[in-house]
């Protein structure tokens, strides 16, 4: 039976999710940007509506008859939008990746009988799902996630394009990186502890600390956990130069008779060079390493993802890997396979029997394939 799904946000990932969900359900895609909604014309079971998603009353109105809501608004709008949807008593699966603490809404969600899954993307998202599943089945001692989205073509000087909000990328380079070492949460400088790693079909990439663990720091009692971002070699040094010189600063500087924030100048110069073209080829790469004890034996489990831009549907790999994970979890909630009330980070979904396998099969059907390998001892 087709359900009514409302997708809030029609950006690159939001559009991919709306199209995917419309194959099984009646979908309404909502955004205030008419040009973004125009990409969704001529799709069966997919309607569009223009609305200001920063307006709580407008959000409440467009989701009034929804069976479930999918959140794909920018991060700075995410928390308030999630709160509005929960107050309306609607289940939601969200990928807005906001900075506020989602568990502040846990009591509200439970009182409304709402299932609210946040961070349901690739990382955070799929990485959490996988870890949650293993943490339930074995005693995990170490978790490492290497992840990055990169253009196929390396173009000087940055050899990088932002497949999601560029301002969120810069935040990764300035915000302290929280990792877990010996069961203690420690902060390290972003872009620190570089590694050079060789990946089949891609070549050598550099990895560095970023603040990607998010909810795992609080929900998973694992002695050692870290996430590292992947870029082409040389990116760390370029970003460190900009950061240490002050180009990412938020305090205003007086330059002649003008008052300017360095970050505003930097973003206006960088973003045109970082903009990913609508049909520009790129790829998403992720390696997840899980170590621990199972039945008295030491085990190492590895999941590898390498996904590329799909020219047949003109869908970026970041939209595929992030968006289809979100739509898979949406289907879990619609089917009643995941019913936990309150705020759920993806690791809670992974802990629920059968959910990881269902999501992996859903992704495989769409060409997003995780290769698993295991080693004892």
* Interatomic CA distance for residues 29 and 14, integer angstroms: 8
Domain 4-120+316-369 has CATH 3.40.50.720: yes
Greatest Cα-to-Cα distance within the chain, rounded to the nearest angstrom:
70
What pTM was estimated for this model as a whole?
Answer: 0.94
Provide the pairing of β-strand 258-260 with 282-294.
unpaired
**Where in the chain do CATH 3.40.50.720 domains reside?**
4-120+316-369
**Where in the chain do CATH 3.30.360.10 domains reside?**
126-308
Q: Coil, strand, or helix at residue 52? A: coil
* Interatomic CA distance for residues 153 and 374, integer angstroms: 33
Whether the per-residue pLDDT at 369 is higher than 90: the answer is yes
Question: What fold does the segment set 126-308 form as a domain?
Answer: Dihydrodipicolinate Reductase; domain 2 (3.30.360)
Q: Coil, strand, or helix at residue 360? A: helix
- pLDDT exceeding 90 applies to what percent of the chain? 90
* Interatomic CA distance for residues 90 and 82, integer angstroms: 10
Encode pLDDT of 163-205 as tens digits. 666 777 898 899 999 999 999 999 999 999 999 999 999 999 9
Asked if residue 28 lies in contact with residue 67, where contact means CB atoms within 8 angstroms, the answer is no
Q: Which range is least confidently modeled, 11-15, 288-292, 366-370?
A: 11-15
Query: Residue 341: which pLDDT band, with cuts at 50, 70 and 90?
Result: very high
Asked if residue 148 lies in contact with residue 303, where contact means CB atoms within 8 angstroms, the answer is no
Provide the pairing of β-strand 297-308 with 370-376.
antiparallel
- pLDDT exceeding 70 applies to what percent of the chain? 99
Question: Considering the chain, what is the average pLDDT of its residues?
Answer: 95
User: How many other β-carbons are positioned within 10 Å of the β-carbon of residue 205?
Assistant: 20
Encode pLDDT of 43-52 as tens digits. 989 999 999 9
Q: Strands (DSSP E) along the chain, which ranges?
A: 4-8, 26-31, 46-50, 68-71, 92-94, 115-117, 139-151, 177-181, 184-188, 195-199, 203-209, 224-231, 253-255, 258-260, 282-294, 297-308, 342-344, 370-376
In this prediction, residue 167 carries a pLDDT of 78
Alpha helices in 88-165 (DSSP H): 106-112, 126-137
* Interatomic CA distance for residues 4 and 25, integer angstroms: 6
């Amino acid at each position: 039976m087709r359900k009514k799904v409302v997708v809030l946000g029609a950006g690159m990932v939001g559009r991919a999710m709306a199209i995917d969900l419309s194959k099984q359900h009646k979908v309404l895609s909502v955004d205030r940007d008419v040009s973004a909604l125009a990409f969704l014309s001529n799709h069966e079971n997919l309607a569009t509506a223009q609305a200001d998603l920063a307006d709580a009353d407008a959000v409440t109105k467009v989701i009034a008859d929804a069976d479930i809501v999918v959140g794909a608004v920018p991060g700075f709008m995410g928390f308030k939008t999630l709160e509005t949807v929960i107050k309306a008593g609607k289940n939601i699966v969200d990928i807005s990746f906001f900075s506020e603490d989602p568990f502040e809404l846990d009591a509200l969600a439970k009182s409304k009988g709402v299932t609210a899954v946040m961070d349901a993307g690739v990382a955070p998202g799929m990485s959490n799902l996988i870890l949650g599943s293993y943490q339930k089945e074995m005693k995990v001692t170490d978790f490492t996630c290497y992840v990055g989205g990169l253009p196929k073509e390396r173009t000087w000087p940055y050899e990088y394009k932002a497949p999601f909000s560029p301002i969120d990328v810069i935040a990764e380079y300035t915000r302290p990186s929280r990792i877990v070492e010996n069961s203690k949460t420690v902060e390290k400088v972003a872009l620190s502890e570089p590694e050079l790693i060789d990946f089949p079909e891609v070549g050598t990439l550099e990895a560095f600390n970023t603040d990607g663990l998010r909810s795992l720091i609080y929900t998973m009692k694992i002695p050692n956990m870290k996430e590292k971002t992947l870029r082409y070699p040389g990116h760390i040094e370029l970003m460190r130069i900009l950061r240490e010189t002050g180009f990412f600063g938020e305090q205003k500087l007086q330059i002649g008779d003008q008052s300017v924030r360095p970050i505003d100048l930097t973003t206006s110069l960088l973003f045109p060079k970082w903009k990913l073209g609508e049909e520009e080829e790129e790829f998403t790469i992720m390696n997840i390493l899980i170590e621990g004890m199972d039945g008295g034996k030491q085990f190492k489990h590895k999941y590898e993802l390498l996904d590329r831009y799909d020219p047949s549907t003109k869908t970026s790999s970041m939209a595929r890997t992030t968006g289809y994970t979100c739509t898979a979890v949406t289907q879990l909630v619609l089917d009643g396979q995941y019913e936990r009330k309150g705020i759920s980070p993806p690791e809670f979904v992974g802990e629920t029997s059968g959910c990881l396998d269902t999501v992996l099969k859903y992704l495989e059907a769409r060409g997003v394939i995780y290769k698993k390998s295991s080693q004892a001892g």
